[in-house]
Structure 1
């Protein structure tokens, strides 16, 4: 699956949640509320990772792999809401780091 397809699917899911937010709360979550949800999920991810390495006890009803994916989903959605071209920015970030670290890409 391409990053573009992942972004499209992620956005469609978030749009469905916006419908539920309007139905149940009268308005969509703000960017700040989305960020708060991401922050909460990062905390859950922290506990899951600590549990995985034996530094915490398992008290969350989540699975590490699913929570990691959910955090990526939130970041994708935030990039869309903030009008950030994540594909372009990821490419620029990776290229910058490769150049900084003198990493040769196989496709070059």
Structure 2
């Protein structure tokens, strides 16, 4: 398994489309300050350091989740947390790269 696969980044373009077709919500896990400096329109900001405490809130959305950040590292961590809590999610990587795929 390659590094991209371990981070949940391989085959991302197809998965983004599949997730968006299912009505996925985009969660940006960067800090509030980073988010304010630019983000995907309609995305929800839940910083990585608060994701554990927001799992039930995210679950109640009853939607698939695409997580993004600046480079893909924090979103990989968030994706792992969400999946381990039974939430269908994928790592969208860096927010600017993800935005270009939408």
- Name the TM-score, length of structure 1 as normaliser: 0.32
Write 1 or 2 for the structure with the bigger share of helix: 1
Structure 1 or 2, whichever has the larger Rg, is 1
TM-score (normalised: structure 2): 0.33
Tell me which of the two structures has the higher relative contact order, counting C-alpha pairs closer than 8 angstroms and 6 or more residues apart: 2
